[in-house]
Amino acid sequence: MAKPRFLLVVFPAQGHVNPALQLAKRLVLIGCEVTFVTTVLAHHRMVTKCGGGFGDDNDSNNNNFTPPNGMSFAQFSDGYDDGFRPKPFDFTAYCTELRRRGTQALKGLVQSGQKEGRPYTCMVYTLIMPWAADVAAELEIPVALFWVQPATLFDVYYYYFNGYGDLIRDYMVNDYSSPLTLPGLSLDLTVRDLPSFLGPSGEKAYLIKLFEEQFKVLDKESHRPIVLINTFDVLEPEALRSISTNKLNVIGIGPLIDPIELRKSDDRDIVSEWLSSKSKGSVIYVSFGSVVVLSKPQMEEIAKGLLDFGRPFLWVIRGNDNKQDKEEEEEEKVSRRGELEKLGMIVPWCCQVEVLSNKALGCFVTHCGWNSTLESLVCGVPVVAFPQSVDQITTAKLIEDMWKIGVRVTAKDEGVVGAEEIKRCLELVILGGDEMRRNATKWRDSAMEASKEGGSSDINLKAFVNEVIGEKTFFYY
């Protein structure tokens, strides 16, 4: 039997590319062939950064990326091959152009495969690429959505666009004190826990249209839509069951983290050397991802909170590639740098999984991006949840109230989290977080169990492949 051949179509953002790359590797490992499709810029970054591909937030600069046998790459131009420079950036216009160019590229790839006698078995596409499903339908290829956020958020959006939109909007307008409950979910949600763009404020309104289109695409699929989610069965059991009905086949296949990165340790690396000089569980790791840009006042409050707490820290402060001039660059600099560097280390990047898996780590101050959250779970590191927008807000709720591996900061009225609040949360996690550490260890073990051969996510992924090729015996498990 010929190997199943998958076309994996990936939105060019780090939070999409990294888990998609791991999914590709898993499919190859279990006997499939994969063509990984993304933009020219995203591909360039992938092969020149962390050896395992994109990190959710911070990469090392290992240039020795080699795809496994059975995996190939296809690139197409989105018009920004040299990077995103315009300011402000029109995301809606970008998505329109991405659709036009990407549709042409996908059709060419599929048709080439058919002419060569090597047709694709299935197309898998990430969030924000719903037009890929239209291409698959037109060319009569089985298709699946790869969801790169929590299953709980998939449910929230599903209900919003399937009968509960008015209820959720009304709830957010009136800021009801009583929690919002949705079918199949026991988690009590407040206004503070929901993506703000679901409300009437108009903030990031373009996202509503993107998500609405995504769920319309699922609704019009001729077969029962398949949704692969980067989560695992015991982490979000209710969310995975809630809408996995006759209408949708929702499948947990995570956590999609490179196991090699967990075992890496290069003592010659300056960060690794610094971490190795610190005692077990003593270091605070601070990172806000590859997209979030903090305000100058917020940076200053974080600096003060870290200094006041007085424990060693590793803080990733990225350079801003889009800064217009030296004056703007100066504005981004945090004050008291000398004091900070006596207590901790400030770096522009690091390989996040390697850092989180270091024994010196005691706490992760994170924006709650889903990849970062999964990495903290896999590494067993408790969290100070510092969400900024969109999905991160709901993920922070899960961290604090469902999985109980961290605490969430509370911002002041003007939206800035003060130094005292940051210090308070660090004290709760570092000094009084025994239960959080136990829970983090429990979820680490559960994550490893799910992703190993014969684990729930391994079985689920193999069952998915069997389903799309119409075979019951391609894999035995």
10 Å CB burial of residue 234 (0-12, 13-18, 19+) is: middle
Question: What does the DSSP 8-state code read for residue 277?
Answer: T
The structure tokens 């690091």 sit at 350
Local structure of 258: helix, strand or coil: coil
- Joined tokens for residue 283: 């270091």
Q: Which residue among the candidates 16, 44, 223, 367 is catalytic per the annotation?
A: 16
Tell me how far apart the alpha carbons of residues 158 and 168 are, in angstroms, rounded to a whole number.
12
Identity of the residue numbered 427: E
Tell me how far apart the alpha carbons of residues 111 and 135 are, in angstroms, rounded to a whole number.
11
Identity of the residue numbered 312: P
φ, ψ for residue 386 (rounded to 5)? Answer: -130, 60
Tell me how far apart the alpha carbons of residues 52 and 259 are, in angstroms, rounded to a whole number.
10
- For residue 229, the tally of other CB atoms under 10 A from its CB is 26
Length of the chain (residues) = 477
How big, in percent rounded to 5, are the helix, strand and coil portions of the chain? 45, 15, 40
| Bridge partners, 6 (sequence order) | 34, 122
Tell me how far apart the alpha carbons of residues 198 and 202 are, in angstroms, rounded to a whole number.
8
16 is catalytic: yes
Tell me how far apart the alpha carbons of residues 107 and 132 are, in angstroms, rounded to a whole number.
10
Catalogue the active-site residues: 16
